[in-house]
Amino acid sequence: MMVEEKERSIEERLLQLKNQNDDSDCRITACVILGTFVAVCGSFSFGVSLGYTSGAEIGIMKDLGLTIAQFSAFASFSTLGAAIGALFSGKMAIILGRRKTMWVSDLLCIIGWFSIAFAKDVIWLNFGRISSGIGLGLISYVVPVYIAEISPKHVRGTFTFTNQLLQNSGLAMVYFSGNFLNWRKLALLGALPCFIQVIGLFFVPESPRWLAKVGTDKELENSLLRLRGRDADISREASDIQVMTKIVENDSKSSFCDLFQRKYRYTLVFSGSSAVLSYASTILRKAGFSVTVGSTLLGLFMIPKAMIGVILVDKWGRRPLLLTSVSGMCITSMLIGVAFTLQKMQLLQELTPVFTFICVTLYIGTFAIGMGGLPWVIMSEIFPMNIKVTAGSIVTLVSWSSSSIVTYAFNFLLEWSTQGTFYVFGATGGVALLFIWLLVPETKGLSLEEIQASLIRQPDGIN
């Protein structure tokens, strides 16, 4: 009887949410823009870290005398550190709040980048990589969550996808600057956006959803007034956030077992590979393409192709972009494998370097419009407050753990079989395509409260 009453209450609230037309929720204020900009400063440092090994590989190995195994370990320590940060990201974002968690990540990243920049041996080099990696693990969770929680619903996907845009800006800077700056100066550039974020966080509000969770109603209203405008009527939005927060908390207390209720479990599986981004110069070198020319062109290509995702995410929706992205990654991975197969057979030797570069460029482009940023967008949208801590941490941990393994193993995989490596990547893309087609929901145009209400309405087979 109590279950039926709870279901009716949720149904009624969901209907109200769908029928409401709150103009204040459609306003894009300077505070929302500033909050998004400050948050994605951490994403820029994220991008620098992803591409750093590509631009710094030759210089570091020469100056510090690293072997391939030592440099592969150095490259993978960033993602290993990020996996460690992921373990604490959700809990820290709940206990400290979104802003303070970003401050902690900035401190770790600054320490890490300075340790790399002034490293005299491999120990300090690896320490810096792990420290900045832990900071990146926090950033990768809290930045998309914060942006999603402060943005109006009709542009939430666009604003959250700027996380990917700034990551690509960081990558572009590394690919381009790596041609004329040494690896120490590149590391100092990686720390610069962290200093900007440290200062900027003093001027942006805390997430209203987090404030509703910790029970400070007055601060929740003040935050919404700053985000929606001082003259906006925020009473309905504040009420919706408070009511839905209570509903999801009463529906289930946060625990590990909650993740395997039917209504949540299909949202858990997301992970990515950073090997192509981290070792772009190595791939081009093996293909016989000029690393200087290739890195410069990739750098110029990074920002425009990320803009495509920003423009389309709230027009096409999440699912179409994800399906397009994974399909492109799958096809281009297979084509890179074909190019290296032809190279091994000594066929079309004049064409394969250019063909490989084109395929690498298309791979990175298709990655950027979907899989590079959308899994984090969906993760920030789909998990309600009562399981966001546990689920968000697991998603981030799985993503960074898998990236760490692939980043470390990539050089050794290339030694085993260059073409075989990309055939494996292509097959993995096929599995991801099937998963997205069958299980990933569409969230375009829905408020976070509507998404959460829809999930709660699904039977979990336990009650």
Residue labelled with tokens 């066929």: 347
Question: Which secondary structure element, helix H or strand E, spans residue 192, and what is its range?
Answer: helix 183-200
CA angle 22, 152, 217 (to 5 degrees): 75
| Euclidean distance between CA atoms 343 and 199, whole angstroms | 51
| Euclidean distance between CA atoms 346 and 405, whole angstroms | 31
Question: Which phi and psi (to 5°) does residue 179 adopt?
Answer: -75, -20
Q: Look up residue 462 and give its DSSP letter.
A: -
- Provide the residue-wise pLDDT of the chain in tens; the chain has 463 residues: 444 554 455 455 555 555 554 544 567 888 999 999 999 998 898 888 888 887 787 888 888 888 888 888 888 888 888 888 878 888 888 889 899 999 999 999 999 999 999 998 889 999 999 999 999 889 888 898 899 888 887 787 778 778 878 888 888 888 788 778 888 998 998 899 999 999 999 999 998 888 887 867 788 888 888 888 888 877 787 887 777 677 656 655 545 455 545 444 444 444 334 555 555 666 777 777 777 777 777 777 767 766 776 677 667 777 888 888 888 888 988 998 888 888 888 787 778 888 888 888 888 778 877 777 677 677 666 766 556 666 666 766 777 677 767 767 776 777 778 788 888 888 888 888 888 888 777 777 666 666 666 655 554 443 3
Q: What is the pLDDT of residue 257?
A: 53
| Euclidean distance between CA atoms 355 and 294, whole angstroms | 12
Structural domains of the chain in order of their starting residue, each with its CATH number: 30-204 (1.20.1250.20), 262-458 (1.20.1250.20)
Structure tokens at 284: 């081009």
Structure tokens at 18: 């769908």
Burial class from Cβ neighbours inside 10 Å (0-12, 13-18, 19+) for residue 28 reads: middle
Q: What is the pLDDT of residue 462?
A: 36
Coil, helix or strand for 239? helix
| Euclidean distance between CA atoms 381 and 375, whole angstroms | 10
Q: What is the pLDDT of residue 384?
A: 62
What lies within 8 Å, CB to CB, of 157 at 6+ separation is 313, 314, 318, 377, 443, 444
Structure tokens at 164: 């990917």
Residue 264, CA distances (Å) to 42, 218, 331 in order = 29, 31, 31
For the chain, the farthest-separated pair of C-alpha atoms sits apart, in whole angstroms, at 74
Q: What is the pLDDT of residue 108?
A: 95
DSSP string, 19-35: H---GGGG---HHHHHH
Judge if pTM exceeds 0.95.
no
CB atoms inside a 10 Å sphere around CB 34: 15
Q: Count CA atoms within 13 Å of residue 393 on its CB side.
A: 20
Overall size of the chain counted in residues = 463
Structure tokens at 333: 């991975």
Q: Which of 281, 31, 43 is closest to 178 using CA atoms?
A: 281
